Amino acid sequence: IDWMFHRMNESGVFNGSVVVVQPLRKGMVDSLNEQNGLYTLYLRGIDGGATRNEREVITSVSRGINPYADWAAFLETAGNPETRFVVSNTTEAGIAYEPVEKPTDCPPSFPAKLTAWLDRRFELLGGAEETGMVFLPCELINHNGAKLKECVLKHAADWGLGDEFIRWIEQDCVFLSTLVDRIVPGYPVDEIPAMEAELGYSDNLICAAEIFHLLVIEGPRRLQKELPFDKAGLNVVWTDDLQPYRTRKVGVLNGAHTASVLAAYLGGLDTVRGMMEDPLFGAYVKQAVFEEIVPALSMDEAEARSFAAAVLERFQNPFIRHELLSISLNSVSKWKVRVLPTLKSYLREFGRVPPLLGFSLAALIAFYKGDARQGHRVNDQEDALGFFARVWARETPAERVAMVLENAAFWGEDLTKLPGLETSVCSALEDILAEGVASAISKRMTSS
């Protein structure tokens, strides 16, 4: 998003800057501030059959704030009447209501931080219409704008912020729903020496991404004038209904990632491109996409297959080193959002559990054991990590699978109620533990 605001500034259609707020206690805003908000972005890939390899210094970031270290500085930004937009990307786990007392210091959840910030803005600026905010949450959950607003209003009620504050939120603040699509692996560690030699300077925040990008915004068109992305040549769609875009993107691109990367990592691979080039795992991804995900989507099959083919081509971008462990962040919430709806749709349509999507849940359970490979890092919420520690204290695969599937706090329902899923996942986990992930996948490739 910093790149998009940078592009609008460079095009002369916008005149603004970005303050980056670090979402977690550990982060990189100190490095960002040391570089005066500047970083180099590489955009690389195949575009219309031609190779593109471009770079530019992003200049839209004014500074970064760590609210855990300086809560007062974070709240101080609320008093700037020119502040208009809040964009967030805290992963699927980030937009969640966690009851907490009105904070005097930085709370852990994003919605609580945001509510405290809005409370301070209301207090400092008086709740006038023109002080209302526009929110663009980019977390990959359905109706993300409405969900974020719901969390804010719950905190407002808990903290007794009053009817006038709630009226201001309801009438003068706009919570847009969005869908974002760009593969951004981030810091290309293996290429840094060559890149810095080419650049002629050091940059601790070099970022690599693919050429393709899409932002879909569901909300009032009047705001398009305030955010003239299109006038800067950016691929931004304003729509009254983003569901068709979401179904396609979440089911295919994100679903393919989440259904495959944990198994591929357990199989000794490290990157998406490596996974796609591996004979077994490449075939696994293609079969999962074309035989299980695409048939379960409620959209035109030809369109879905065309989009899927383009996505798999993007996965093989020769310039992109997308680490499997990077994608594994918060895999529990990702599997719920990205894979579970497709699995249930397939089950309804065909009357059986899709073998490879079911297998992906077994791979998740195995991955969360945390000892598959030297240096294996499981990165998720503390409650999820604690839960899986208890899961792996159980003696048998059947007990472990039952405990995971029954956890409605993870999935929003008891997954043991889905016909055949518990048996399918248990069989897959037994095979992973006894024979290894490659053999376990091979069995299901032939049986599907």
Spatial separation of the C-alpha atoms in residues 43 and 60, rounded to whole Å: 17
Task: Give which of 291, 214, 212 is closest to 259, Cα–Cα.
Answer: 291
Residues β-bridged to residue 402: none
Residue-wise pLDDT for 26-56, tens only, equals 999 999 999 999 999 999 988 777 889 999 9
Residue-wise pLDDT for 95-115, tens only, equals 999 999 999 999 999 999 999
Task: Give which of 448, 405, 439, 441 is closest to 423, Cα–Cα.
Answer: 405
- Write the secondary structure of 330-356 as one string of H (helix), E (strand) and C (coil): CHHHHHHHHCHHHHHHHHHHHCCCCHH
Cβ–Cβ < 8 Å for 169, 152: yes
Spatial separation of the C-alpha atoms in residues 234 and 148, rounded to whole Å: 26
DSSP state of 186: B
Residues β-bridged to residue 180: 215
Task: Give which of 262, 261, 266 is closest to 437, Cα–Cα.
Answer: 266
What end-to-end distance do the CA atoms of the chain give, in Å? 41
Residues β-bridged to residue 65: 21
pLDDT at residue 253 greater than cutoff 70: yes
pTM over 0.85: no
Tokens read off for 292? 């299980």
Helix (H) or strand (E) holding 429: helix 421-435
Tokens read off for 236? 């931004």
Spatial separation of the C-alpha atoms in residues 264 and 272, rounded to whole Å: 9
φ, ψ for residue 175, nearest 5 deg: -105, 100
Cα–chain center distance at 106: 23
Residue-wise pLDDT for 157-214, tens only, equals 999 999 999 999 999 999 999 999 999 988 999 999 999 999 999 999 999 999 999 9
